[in-house]
């Protein structure tokens, strides 16, 4: 009887699918950022003819919508990094993941605080 596990290593199959999944998540995160930026630019162009006082309020809303899009993309990227680390869970990779996740969490936290501060002002 032929043993298929000796022909196709399970590790290479797992690695292929993990790479495919993380690529999909990275593309999704990039798409969220691109869509958020495009929507922000379109919204900004629409308000250019408004009075300055109205523009100020609208610009803040546009900026916060963009921040929410970036925050969502950061969450996707953190998930992608965690999945990538499952592939090669060595000490060095875990330390790198820890640093990356910490930086992204700090960015997410600061964006969330900014959004909350704005929502309390409204």
Total domains in the chain come to 1
| Any domain includes 4 | no
Q: Say if residue 111's pLDDT is above 90.
A: no
| Any domain includes 103 | yes
- Nearest partner of 122 among 60, 67, 54, 36, judged by Cα: 60
pLDDT of residue 7: 54
| Any domain includes 2 | no
- Measured CA to CA, the distance from residue 77 to residue 26 in angstroms comes to 6
pLDDT of residue 34: 97
| Any domain includes 8 | no
| Any domain includes 1 | no
The pLDDT tens digits of the residues spanning 52-100 come to 888 888 888 898 889 889 889 988 988 888 888 777 667 887 787 788 7
- Nearest partner of 76 among 44, 34, 121, judged by Cα: 34
| Any domain includes 26 | yes
| Any domain includes 86 | yes
Domain that holds residue 102: 14-120
Outline where DSSP puts E strands in 1-122: none
| Any domain includes 46 | yes
Most confident of 10-24, 33-47, 57-71, 75-89: 33-47
């Amino acid at each position: 009887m032929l043993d298929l596990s000796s022909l196709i290593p399970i590790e290479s199959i797992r690695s292929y699918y993990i790479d495919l999944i993380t690529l999909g998540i990275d593309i999704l995160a990039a798409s969220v950022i691109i869509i958020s930026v495009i929507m922000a630019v379109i919204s900004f162009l629409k308000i250019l003819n408004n009075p300055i006082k109205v523009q100020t309020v609208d610009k803040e809303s546009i900026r916060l919508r963009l921040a929410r899009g970036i925050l969502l993309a950061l969450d996707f990227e953190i998930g992608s990094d965690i999945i990538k680390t499952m592939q090669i869970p060595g000490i060095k990779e875990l330390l790198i993941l820890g640093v990356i996740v910490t930086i992204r969490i700090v960015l997410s936290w600061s964006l969330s605080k900014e959004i909350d501060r704005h929502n309390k002002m409204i």
